[in-house]
Chains A and B, each alone.
Chain A
């Protein structure tokens, strides 16, 4: 397995929004979903997931309600709000633009300058 990458600062929020945009998930589910999409290439501190969730909820991007887990246990499920959907779109756009710019800079050959 490749060595896991540490998360860039500020990207965890975006990944959480993306993860819950595909359907309501509980905290542990979000962790699994991110690991699954990233094919386990990202290292996520489990403990840091929850403060991020609480922050996103406080800001109104996601909401939560208690539901039943796959094995019939009470679990708190997070869902994207309309504002969260817009936020995710904006963040993704920004990220893509930034990634393009950075990649462009790094691709530049010496003679192009």
Chain B
């Protein structure tokens, strides 16, 4: 058994600056050997940066790191692995076109030839000891998120990791897969492994951890024994104020049907059917929330509805008109607005705020006269939107990339909602944003609903879905498991549907 009196990891006074951001501000962290240590904080609190420093991906600007009592300089993941540290990132670090075995042995020192037989043996061993079952010959892209995560954990163990960092490990998993993960984590801790569990979900802290360290805006706020604290305290520490924001959901008269989707089939980039027979309808003044674990076809569905991906089979009707496989341009002209999940898709970072705001009306009066752009019209359009949506920017001529994530999202929302859309598609509109921006953006979506826009909201954040939606659809494996009115939806039912249980009305 390892010596449990010496801390597995000790980080002292860690400082990390990025251009314009202080990501870690003199962070101290002690992780005891054999414990499960939760690292709790909001998005942007600096949890992942801190762990990336421990894993050698980033280099600290100041501070010292001790592993198992010894002062170390970790310059690369290779150094970290040598110290017995393994990390499972939120974005899995797997080569999609390679097999499980190839991924597991990637980067290992050893003899020249590919050690296939040895690798298979170890894989079997891990399957038995920790319940990490996975087919060694499968290609990564064929595996579910949960299976891919198992490969990641196996990779770390294979390299002899006794300190395992898990970065938001449950974000891509179904409730059942989460259960399995928690049990694996506990089995590893029982065998003397140390686990650092990054999360922003309070439930998980209590479900699995021995101790918890809370980070806020790059600083450590507290380190506590999990048994001696409660959700209220942690929530307050994490956010710095009481969390509850309430949105008033005013009753709105449901208008005529705006969007009707019939038996939609859509292929993913890899050519497999990612959406299989999805049907639903959406009325003016209504928010339909689409819940589900990422990667179950939501992305393909949304892109097809925005005209960015072709539909294999099925029909899309907009106010009765068939718009299946029409160009994005045609949809824009018919009042379909789209807030994409990846902000880079919807913006041109090197162009100015003003130019980004005309991205969809650059060829219409008054911005465009004949073939010429009217710079005065562009300027006044920008000034109006910047003021109305309170976009914090030094000037309308500032390149968009210099704005914060929240303000970029405000600008996108300003552009998309200011034109009185008939259909607003919002994919993960608040992901990665701070509380203030999140609250503001949710309010904008609500006011759109009140103005009679049909809103399709895709989100992984169940709280967001429950708070905003009138009806909730759950997607699993390319199908809709059922559509529930919000007053009949509870977390348990939705959780079951996210795991693939049909719920017919």
Bound pair (A, B): no
